[in-house]
A and B are shown apart, each in its own frame.
Chain A
Amino acid sequence: MIKQISLFLENKKGRLAYVCRVLANEQINIRALSIADTTNFGVLRLIVNNPEKAYEVLQKNNFAVSMTDVLAMEVPDVPGGLAGALERLDQAAINVEYMYAFLGKTSHGALVIIRVENPEEAIPVIREAGIKLLDGDEVYSL
């Protein structure tokens, strides 16, 4: 299981840069990032090398921040690699709420971050479907 940091951001100039600067000042490295946005606000989701510290730092800087469990799924880095993995999740009746790609890759393939409804229950099901999931430590240190 991977710890993802989510935070609330207004759609205002300079906010994203500010978040990144706050994390940089604490030597926190961003490994993956996604923004879900609406007209007025966005939710920024981050995978970082030290989620606990990032959470603390952002909270101290007055952000509305939360920590969410997500999964890091390894997929073959070839055309159809992701499609095949998602089809298998679908067959296993696992619903992906959102997903985004990871920077860099493992020795075996590409990495995507997925958020599912019950990560705890989904892990064995996904593994059974023959998909590799990475542990937190593996991901944070990539």
Chain B
Amino acid sequence: MNKAAPSEPSGRWTDAAMTRRVRRRYAAEAIFRGAGLAAITLSVLFLAFLLWSMASKGVGGFTRYEAQLPIDFAKTDLFLDPAAIRGPDARSAVAGADLSGAISAAAKAAYGPAGTQLFGDAAVDRLTDAILANPNLVGGKTSLWLPVASKIDVAAKGEGSAAAEKIVAGLEQGHALRRTFNAQFLTGADATDPTAVGVWGALKGSVYTILVTILLAFPVGVLAAIYLEEFAPRNRWTDAIEVSINNLAAVPSIIFGLLGLAVFLDVMNLPRSAPLVGGLTLALMTFPVIVIAGRNAIKTVPPSIRDAALGVGASKMQVTFHHVLPLALPGILTGTIIGVARALGETAPLLMIGMRAFVAMPPRGVSDPATVLPVQIFLWSDEVDRGFIEKTSAAIIVLLLFMLLMNGIAIYLRNRFERRW
């Protein structure tokens, strides 16, 4: 009777079976904890790898190689009227001349037959600027540093074809090749030649689009938030509004693009590819985000503020606009900036409304054809020329910096102005 059944686990801590069991349980604990740590580490590593791969590929996009080219204008068959290039229409006069032919003739003279492949569109741009800055250049002999063609540029950065690599080696031997900062990338617009492309056009388009978005979505969103939080009666209408706001916040962005296409372009006949339409579409998308952020911010304003203002005789409207809204504004602004930053990175709805056109001129207004930075990235990623790979990554760096700036502002606003009650 006093013998314990062998199958029954004993309850004593010192038992071998018990310690084994406890050890196993603690091992499971460590494994579980390790799995959690591994998961978060892996996620952060993914992020680090993503950013690192964009940064390492993109840094090269901010630089480009230039080669020295001695030009003897007398020997090229370039015809430029000395009076015209000093006149008011100098730019169109120079643009009409066959600069690319002159460059390739000069390159052939300097570097042999392979020289004709040395320079591309960017070199023509540079020569145009040089002639405009100093019309006396034409007719004499000069030596200029010109950006090399994409193929040579890629080869100089170590990923080109064997033939291009040979040209690069030849240039380097003669000290006729140098790497410089690519200012055109920050000031130019889209182009067919990757060494001549720039993000300024797309950046400007993004700024216009975002401005339209903010101007429309922010006031309307704040007013709607005020209405829903402070004035709306509890009835079916209010429920319908709330349900649609919550649903809109979860609708895929591409659906807003379809809406923009059907309503703004097809019914209202607004201009295609324009920042105006892009901004309108993104405003509809950002509106529910602002309303939700606004309501949360208004909710945090304590009722005592309202009671005090009502108590000294302010009307409900005065309470809201003189006291509640100013106190809630930092919170609303933070939410708005986060929503706008998301709209800034949005691509799909803008593809739907035709903002994917090739736009070689920065837009001058909200109704000019334009593209935005994310769409520009998408367009460049589709290009075959290898020179576009680093340009795409470089544009991504610009976009991420832009977004970092906006989120930084949001965080600053939150820390600086947000009150804890």
- Bind each other: no
